[in-house]
Amino acid sequence: MTQVLFYLMPPVVLSAKAMTNSPVVTANTNPALYAMHLLACQLAQQAFVKQQWVYIHCQDKQQAHVIDELLWQFEPSAFVPHNLKGEGPMTGSPVEIGFDRIGANKSRQVLINLADQAPPFAVNFGHIIDFVANDDQHKAVARERYRQYRGLGVNLQTQDLATHPLN
């Protein structure tokens, strides 16, 4: 059965240095979403280390390019082989980033969902990671995704990162 883990994001505490050192940050960047994007990339890196293949599903092309750029910013010792869907090697990279309604080009174990909706292909994955950003607008959208997943009959869990941070 498909497992969905929602990470409840803690209050955003990003240093000015972290926000200004990233080429994907603009004056309109929402700090709560930026923190969520960083966590998604870190979780993709952890899955890669465990030799799990990951599909990061984005809301749109712009968000997919932001995630792609964030993964390129990792330290060389933590490099995550990745590509945008439709690019890269014929056999695929361990991490694929896309935004269409079709999903990954090949079978993968982990779906990291950054889109506003639960993707229609979500049940094709054994493990789904989703997020509840720490701002009111995005919490409401996450609640709707939670209901969508529940309607798919998947096993839902939450982890509050404020009280149970990642290792």
Residues 6 or more apart whose CB falls under 8 angstroms from that of 7 comprise: 39, 129, 130, 131, 132, 158, 159, 161
Among candidate residues 24, 115, 20, 111, the one with its CA nearest the CA of residue 66 = 24
| Angle separating helix axes 31-49 and 61-72, nearest 10 degrees | 60
Q: Is the pLDDT of residue 38 over 80?
A: yes
Q: Is the pLDDT of residue 45 over 90?
A: yes
CA atoms within 13 A on the CB side of 146: 15
pLDDT digits (tens, 9 = 90+) for 74-113: 888 889 999 999 998 888 899 999 999 999 988 999 999 9
Span 143-158, average pLDDT: 96
Q: Checking DSSP bridges between strand 3-8 and strand 127-132, what pairing results, if any?
A: parallel
Per-residue model confidence (pLDDT) at position 27: 58
pLDDT digits (tens, 9 = 90+) for 7-36: 999 987 655 545 555 556 655 778 889 999
Question: For residue 27, how many other CB atoms are within 10 A of its CB?
Answer: 4
Please give the order of strands across the beta sheet that includes 127-132. 82-84, 95-98, 54-57, 110-113, 127-132, 3-8, 155-160
Per-residue model confidence (pLDDT) at position 18: 54
Average pLDDT, the chain: 90
Residue holding tokens 């952890």?
Answer: 46
Per-residue model confidence (pLDDT) at position 67: 97
Residue holding tokens 């979403």?
Answer: 33
pLDDT digits (tens, 9 = 90+) for 48-70: 999 999 999 999 999 999 999 99
Per-residue model confidence (pLDDT) at position 21: 57
Per-residue model confidence (pLDDT) at position 90: 81
